[in-house]
Amino acid sequence: MSLQDNQVPHVQKENAQRIHDRFVTIGWALFLILIGAIWLVPKDVIPEGAFFIGVGAILLGLSLAKQLMGLKTDTTAIFLGIIALAIGFRNLLELQVPIIPIIVIILGSFILFTALFRKRQK
């Protein structure tokens, strides 16, 4: 994935791709550490939903860090992070919420929002 020149207001253009790649690497490292930690700890110690909460926190944390650095954030990562957190907290709190219909509604709303408010391409 590459960055366009006009997407990086706070970071020098030549450094933007390097910083973006570093965030991707950090994300994968955190994901692998999360998986390894969950595999090492006994199942009765790890609460239900911990994996999804961890994945959501990683995705949203990296998106926030990229935003603060002035890099373009990936709306798909934000969307998936929110979904992962929702699933994780649903499992953690043992709620009987039908998550799939809610995800479909959120996805439809997201698509509608982007279609209505997206800047027109010239």
DSSP 80-107: HHHHHHHHHHHHHTT----HHHHHHHHH
At 37 the pLDDT is 94
Q: List C-alpha distances in Å: 109 to 88, 93, 103, 114.
A: 21, 26, 10, 9
3-state secondary structure of 74: coil
At 75 the pLDDT is 85
pLDDT digit string (tens) for 59-111?
Answer: 999 999 999 988 888 888 998 998 899 899 999 898 888 888 888 888 888 88
Neighbouring CB atoms inside 10 A of 10's CB total 10
pLDDT digit string (tens) for 3-14?
Answer: 554 455 555 666
Residue 38 and residue 101: Cα distance in Å, rounded? 28
pLDDT digit string (tens) for 24-59?
Answer: 999 999 999 999 999 999 988 999 899 999 999 999
pTM of the prediction?
0.74
At 7 the pLDDT is 53
| Domain residue extents for the chain | 5-117
Closest C-alpha to 89, from 54, 42, 37:
54
Cα–chain center distance at 88: 13
At 63 the pLDDT is 93
At 1 the pLDDT is 46
